[in-house]
Amino acid sequence: MLSFLKEEKISPDLIQGVENYRKEFPAPPELQPRIPVPHFHYYGKDVWEEAIAALLCGQNLLLAGPKATGKNVLAENLAAVFGRPMWNVSFHINMDATGMLGTDTFKNGEVEFRPGPVYQCAVKGGFGVFDEINMARNEAMAVLHSLLDFRHTVDIPGYDLLHADPACRFIATMNYGYSGTRELNEALASRFAVIQLPTISMESLERLLKDEFPALRSEARKAFCQIFKDLEKKCQESEISEKALDLRGMLDAIHLMEAGLEAHKALDLGIVNKSFDEYEPGLIRDVINLHIPGNYTKEEIFEG
C-alpha cells in the first residue's frame, strides 16, 4: 500500500509519518488476519492526504458523502496503510451501548462480561470503522464520547475503566441523505475530523475499471463509466433512488459479461433489478441503451 501512496504522489512527509507510525505500533501476529488487504484502491490525492494527516495527529475521522463515493473503501485502505487490525461496526436504529462496548452474559453458572467490537478495538489498538454512524440514535452514541475525545477512556458499569490503546483510531462513515439517517449532534460531530468525500470522478472511475478489468476495451470502459455518471446525476436530481447507483453492482455486471453473459442481461442483474419500483427500471434501462447497443458482444467489450 505504501508504494501505492507513492504512485499517488502523496506528500513524502505524510508517507514518512505512516512509516514511523507502523514502526511504533507493530501489529502482533495474532491480529495480522484482521489487517485488511484491500481489493480496491481509493483514488484521490487530496482526500488521502487529509485522512492520513488527521489520523497521524491522533484524530478520529468522519467520512461523509453520498452513495458510491468510496467511504468504506477508504476506511479499509487506511487501516491497511497504517497496518492496523480493523473492527467494523454497522450501526442501526437500535444500536446501544451493549452492542458497541459489550454486555453481560451467563457462562458456566456465572455472569461475565462479553466484550463488544468497540471495546476490543480500543484495547487492542485497532481501527474501528463505524459504518453509517448516523443510523444510530445520538443518545446511544453518548457512551462513546469519552472514548472518542482526549480522554480515550470509557467506564464500563460494574467493571473497570477502559483505557484505549494509543494506536487506536475510529473512522466513521455516513451518508446524509439515506432514509433512516439523522443529524449528528454537535457533541458527536466535534469528536471527529470531517472529510466530505467527492463523488468519484470520471478519471478515477476509468482507472478503477482499468485495474479491475485489464482486458476491457477503452470504448466499452468509457461507456460503462458514462452510464454510472449518468445514473449518479439522475440520483442527484432525485429522478431515481440510490438503489441503482451501485458501483459494486456495475463491477459485478462486468464480471458477468466477462464470464459470457450478454451485456444488457448482466447490467439487469447488477444494476437495473436492484430497483423494485414500478417505473425506475425503465429510466435506468434508457440510460444504458443510450450508451451500449442491444447487440453488444463480448468481443466488442473485451480484448483477446
Applying CB under 8 A, which residues contact other proteins? 93-94, 96, 98, 103-106, 109, 111, 114, 179, 219, 223, 230, 233-234, 237, 239, 277-279, 282-283, 286-287, 289-295
Shortest separation between residue 275's beta carbon and other proteins, angstroms: 11
Shortest separation between residue 212's beta carbon and other proteins, angstroms: 21
CA distance 41 to 109: 48
Q: Based on CB atoms, which residue is closest to other proteins, 16 or 218?
A: 218
Instruction: Give backbone dihedrals phi and psi of 130, rounded to 5 degrees, phi first.
Output: -95, 95
Helix, strand or coil for residue 187?
helix
Q: At what angle do helices 218-236 and 247-259 cross, to 10 degrees?
A: 150
Q: Based on CB atoms, which residue is closest to other proteins, 164 or 254?
A: 254
Shortest separation between residue 239's beta carbon and other proteins, angstroms: 6
Q: Based on CB atoms, which residue is closest to other proteins, 116 or 126?
A: 116
Shortest separation between residue 139's beta carbon and other proteins, angstroms: 12
Shortest separation between residue 39's beta carbon and other proteins, angstroms: 30
Q: Based on CB atoms, which residue is closest to other proteins, 16 or 94?
A: 94
Which residue in 92, 152, 149 sits closest to 121, CA to CA?
A: 152
Q: Based on CB atoms, which residue is closest to other proteins, 163 or 217?
A: 217
User: Regarding beta strands 110-115 and 102-107, do their DSSP bridges make them parallel or antiparallel, or are they unpaired?
Assistant: antiparallel
CA distance 97 to 195: 26
8 with 203: CB under 8 angstroms?
no
